[in-house]
Amino acid sequence: MRCGELAERLDERLRIDEYADIDASANGLQVGPADREVARVAVTVDAAVSTVEQAVDAQADLLIAHHGISWGGIDRVTGTAYRRLAPLMENGLALYAAHLPLDGHQTLGNAAGLADLLELTDTEPFGELGAVHVGQRGTAPDAYSVDALRNLLAGELVHGGEGVQVLEFGPTEIKDIAIVTGSGVDWLEDAAENGVDAFITGEGKQKAYHLAKEHGIHVFLAGHYATETFGVKALQDRLEEWGLKTTFIHEPTGL
């Protein structure tokens, strides 16, 4: 399959255009000629020097990353930008990025994957950002306790030994859960105002403590990287269905 054809298919599936005026990431094909043939694709959370080098070692033709390398443009190809671009171009490795589109997609996204892990039902979009959503909300068939939900997240997600931090201010039983992965704590107040029992995100801010306490809601900080592997893994499954060979490059940050 040609790189441009694959990129167009991903653009359509992830509704890239709907996020164009909202996301700082330049989503879509960021590096590489559209006419090159792609047989093997590597997927990863972060496009960094180490993950690019691992994709080269895996003989990938294309690297798909949740966090790409272009965030509103590249002014100069020096320093970090050069170190990341050079191995891509020297080895003919293309790069495709999907940031917020891969957070909010209701079947392939990070929040959707985490909701599936928790076996949530009656799921619906959550986390409005303009005309799109970046998360998901659902109901647990059987109520979780704080310890049970913490242990499930800690056991299933890769944290680099950091574990899951919880702000315990909500009800004894947790049924209604909202999720915005990564740096999603800004939607904590929306979650509380929508009456959920717990809000799950990747990392916190100082204000989260008092907001959680004042609204009587649990907040689970499950790790930025740890909550954002679901989307690229879901894409990996689709790519294999399309006849492509794939490799998942796993480099947890512990953050």
User: Can you give the residue ranges of every domain in the chain?
Assistant: 3-98, 103-227
Length of the chain: 255
Q: Do domains 3-98 and 103-227 have the same CATH topology?
A: yes
Q: Are 151 and 165 in contact (CB under 8 A)?
A: no
The arithmetic mean of pLDDT across residues 78-106, rounded, is 95
- Output the pLDDT for position 254: 85
Q: Is 67 annotated as a binding residue?
A: yes
Could you give the CA distance from residue 217 to residue 167 in angstroms, rounded to a whole number?
A: 8
Q: Are 239 and 108 in contact (CB under 8 A)?
A: no
Residue 160 has pLDDT above 80, yes or no: no
Stated pTM of the model: 0.95
Q: Is 103 annotated as a binding residue?
A: yes
pLDDT in tens, 49-67: 999 999 999 999 999 999 9
Q: Is 218 annotated as a binding residue?
A: no
pLDDT in tens, 133-148: 999 999 999 999 999 9
Where does 103-227 sit in CATH, by number? 3.40.1390.30
Where does 3-98 sit in CATH, by number? 3.40.1390.30
